[in-house]
Amino acid sequence: MQPIQISPVGVIKNDIHEAVDENWGKVVSEIHIDESLTHGLQGLEDWSHIVVIFQMHETQFNPDEHLLRRPRDESDMPELGIFAQRARHHPNMIGITAVRLVEIEGNILKVKGLDAIDGTPVLDIKPYAPVYDGVRDPMVPGWFIRLMQGYF
């Protein structure tokens, strides 16, 4: 396959400097968009939520360690392939999270619930549209429900 080249559109600023596995719902972050792209934010203020696509820049992928693993390495979790998990240890280290858009001031978006650390490169932003992003009655395994208690 051909490599893909992507340039960040911005960077995340917050007080979180190491990845954690819970309480992201309380985190307020700023997304500093490249000033040359500020006009691209016009109209975004009409949306309550956005989808942030970012590069988990401080993580690593080791196939021997991460391709097949237990979520959070907890012994009571099933052994699963990485594509069946939302863990940060994916081959391309791309994160995607729907977050509440609190406010926009110039090229800075204030958001709540973004599970990314300070300095994370933002690859793209899209408005959260339930017609595309919301799924009715999704099937979710029981282990995932247990794992996510306290995450947000």
Instruction: Indicate whether 80 belongs to any domain.
Output: no
Instruction: Indicate whether 116 belongs to any domain.
Output: yes
- What pLDDT digit, counting tens, does each position of 8-38 carry? 999 999 998 887 666 666 789 999 999 999 9
Instruction: Indicate whether 66 belongs to any domain.
Output: no
CA distance 92 to 4: 11
Range of the domain at 37: 10-59+91-131+139-147
3-state secondary structure of 74: coil
Instruction: Indicate whether 152 belongs to any domain.
Output: no
Instruction: Indicate whether 53 belongs to any domain.
Output: yes
Instruction: Indicate whether 79 belongs to any domain.
Output: no
Instruction: Indicate whether 39 belongs to any domain.
Output: yes
- What pLDDT digit, counting tens, does each position of 120-146 carry? 999 999 999 999 888 888 898 988 888
pTM over 0.95: no
Average pLDDT over residues 62-80: 91
CA distance 56 to 114: 12
Q: Which two tokens stand for residue 89?
A: 């240890």
Instruction: Indicate whether 81 belongs to any domain.
Output: no
Task: Specify the CATH number for the domain of residue 107.
Answer: 2.40.30.70
CA distance 152 to 114: 10
For the chain, what is the domain count?
A: 1
